[in-house]
A and B are shown apart, each in its own frame.
Chain A
Amino acid sequence: MLRKNKKIDIPEARKKTRRRENIKRMWHSFSRNKISVIGLVGVFLIVFMAIFANYVAPSPESAGLYINFGEANRPPSLTHIFGTDEMGRDILSRVIFGYRASLLLVVIVLSIVVPIGVTLGLLAGYFRDTYIETIIMRITDVFVSIPPLLLALVICSLLTPNLQNAMLAISVAWWSWYCRIIYNVTTSLKGETYVWSAEVSGASYSHILFKEILPNCLSPILTKASLDAGLIILTGASISFVGLGAQPPTAELGGMVSSGCKLLPEQWWISMAPSLAIVLLIMCFNFIGDGIVSIYEKGRG
């Protein structure tokens, strides 16, 4: 009985320390770039603001239907750091709530796209020369033949414009790129010895796919996902800019830019503030993305 317990415990403990060492090593490479750390801090701040938007924003009512024509079109001042829009709403508050929508977009889209795309890629790459590969990859080929923003716009146009549908549209347009990358990685890994030995020892398909091949795909997945975060926000902003995303009065950054466009150039802050917010958020994600790339970069001895 004691021996049985030992067998289970030691590998577990070893796994834990190995994981801790790996994480330490990754953090060491990541933190060498000061830029990436700045990006990480920035994203944390923005996430914090978004989660506690109700408490952080000076005027949470501004995020929804709120009319105060007395305060309308005020330029940036001490009371309204980003000024007010044509309805009298505080733009800073709207921007903070708008961050909520953008962050939600990234999280949900990646949570849908990465599992589906990776799984399909694993299946297609492993079961090569079967109908599984053919079906999956032909469909993937169709989806990657046009720019994702375009496909997302088309899908959004066919559905009612709101935030959920925008998320859906972007997910539909995005999954195929992950499938393709993982497919390429899987096909090249398929000939590796450890895969072959797992097959020979009778491992189940799910074990081979998820415990042998998947850990080696981690680097391209993480790299791509971190660079995609910025792109997804950009796509989302573009979709709502043309009016196919969240509808007013919901606070959404792209929509705010577009509604402020009509009032250019006199009331420039109405569209410039959300523009700045978009650029800042995407920039922080790109900083992080570069840091993650440098984790997996081959070091110089």
Chain B
Amino acid sequence: MNRTIKVILKRFVYLLIVLLGLSMLIFTLARIMPGDPVRMALGARAPEWVVQRAIEENHLDKPIYVQYYYWFKGILKGDLGFSWVTRRPVMEDIKIFFPATLELVLYTDILILFFGLLFGAIAGFYSNTWKDTLLRMLAYLGISAPPFIFAIVLMVVFGSFFKILPTMGRVSEGFVSPPVITHFVTIDSLIAGEFSAFFDAIKHFIIPVVSLSLKPIAEMARITRAGIIENLEKDYITAAKSYGISQKVIMSKYLLKPSIIPAISLFGLVSVQLFPHAFIIEGLLNWPGLSRYGMEGILNKDLNSIIAVVLVVGLLFIISSIVVDLITSWLDPRINIREGV
């Protein structure tokens, strides 16, 4: 077990270095920035000396590697710099906005995992029947539509036409936010015993979670289905049948486990790929989350917030890929994690 931990740590450190490289990349790209973010933030009417001082204070007049040095020093202290848009330290912004996005992403991930594997399993077991064909057609639709289009359709149909789902924010007006314990609105309201607030919060989740999860569910279902169909013909399934193991056990145990291994690997990818799509959807729905914060940063060329958001996403990606690798090697003993990266 010790060796496994060592390998994980090694991987983690390596990937942190990759993150650093990523930050250098963004910094370098920022050099091409044609606009003047300082002036944009301070306003067109700000006097020249104010702008100059802001530039000096933020080292924006120095060469890129000096800027990077100051930024890196700040990172070590936990200071991610100052956001021009919100006029707050970026660290604070992240602490405020991240839980909202995390809650959204977690619920989406649960949906993806559950429905992706379920639909894929159904399509695989009942392959070439009407159930399979229907699911495959739906899957084509799922992978072909961008999440923001789903969101718009859902907003129009359920938000305006049927008026049963809210389209703005996390909690409706008239509801007081529950006392903040976990920063998760749903869990906090449950803990506080305010069930009406809980249901209201859940209602707000429906449109973003559904629109974000449709494409990944379709992708997961497809890969699970392919895995099951491939393994259905494998010799060990025929062997298990011929030794008298019941069909139920074969389907639910012997077939399922090897088939979901590629799906779990895919899950690691899709669970992070949905972040940039969440950017757009949070913007559409006025969701006070990290993604919208990042989107505002992108649209306003706010370098510090852009870097911070990119790094957060990158960090999540690293964590998810390590977790996925661990789970996959636990599921499939042929993959030997002791062999290293």
Contacts and interface: CB of A to CB of B under 8 A. Distances in A.
Interface string B302-333: 00001000100110011000000000000000
A282 B143 CA distance: 8
A276 B304 CA distance: 37
A199 B28 CA distance: 40
A158 B149 contact: no
Contact of B310 (A138, A146, A244, A265): A146
B7 interface: no
B21 interface: yes
Contacts of B275: 147, 150
A146 B140 CA distance: 25
Given A145-B318, A158-B29, A242-B299, A150 B18 contact: no
Interface stretch (A81-89, A92-100, A203-211, A233-241): A233-241
Interface in B247-297: 272-273, 275-277, 279-280, 283-284, 295
Given A146-B317, A157-B301, A264-B160, A279 B144 contact: yes
B276 A147 contact: yes
Contacts of B280: 238, 241-242
Nearest to A231: B143
B160 A275 contact: no
B21 A142 contact: yes
Contacts of A286: 140, 143-144
A154 B306 contact: yes
B41 interface: no
Interface residues of B, number: 46
A272 B275 CA distance: 24
Nearest to B146: A234
Interface of A, helix, strand, loop or mixed by DSSP: helix
A271 B15 CA distance: 41
Contacts of A141: 18, 21
B155 interface: yes
A159 interface: yes
B144 A282 contact: yes
A269 to B, nearest CB: 11
B313 A150 contact: yes
Contacts of B21: 138-139, 141-142
B36 interface: no
A149 B273 contact: yes
B153 interface: yes
Interface residues of A, number: 43
B161 A158 contact: no
Interface in A120-157: 138-139, 141-143, 145-147, 149-151, 153-157
A85 B42 CA distance: 36
A283 interface: yes
B32 interface: yes
A265 B156 contact: yes
Given A147-B275, A157-B299, A242-B280, A142 B32 contact: no
Given A158-B29, A238-B146, A279-B144, A145 B301 contact: no
B283 A242 contact: yes
Contact of B32 (A138, A153, A158, A300): A158
A145 B148 CA distance: 23
A62 B272 CA distance: 39
Contacts of A287: 140
B233 interface: yes
B54 interface: no
A150 B314 CA distance: 10
B141 interface: yes
Contacts of B317: 145-147
A153 B19 CA distance: 18
A271 to B, nearest CB: 6
B148 A238 contact: yes
Contact of A265 (B161, B279, B283): B161
Interface string A212-249: 00000000000000000010001001100111100000
A146 B22 contact: yes
B155 A279 contact: no
B276 A142 contact: no
B205 to A, nearest CB: 21
Nearest to B161: A265
A33 to B, nearest CB: 11
B313 A146 contact: yes
A261 B152 contact: yes
A264 B144 CA distance: 22
A241 to B, nearest CB: 6
B298 interface: yes
Contact of B33 (A158, A237, A283): A158
A278 interface: yes
Interface string A186-211: 00000000000000000000000000
Contacts of B335: none
A283 B140 contact: yes
Contacts of A257: 148-149, 152
B127 to A, nearest CB: 13
14 contacts: A138-B21, A145-B314, A153-B298, A154-B29, A154-B298, A154-B306, A242-B279, A242-B295, A243-B299, A257-B152, A272-B153, A275-B153, A278-B149, A286-B144
**Closest 7 interchain pairs by CB?**
A149-B276, A142-B21, A283-B144, A157-B298, A150-B276, A282-B144, A265-B160
Interface of A: 35, 138-139, 141-143, 145-147, 149-151, 153-160, 230, 234, 237-238, 241-244, 257, 261, 264-265, 268, 271-272, 275, 278-279, 282-283, 286-287, 300
Given A147-B276, A158-B33, 8 more contacts: A35-B140, A145-B18, A145-B19, A147-B273, A158-B30, A265-B156, A272-B153, A275-B149
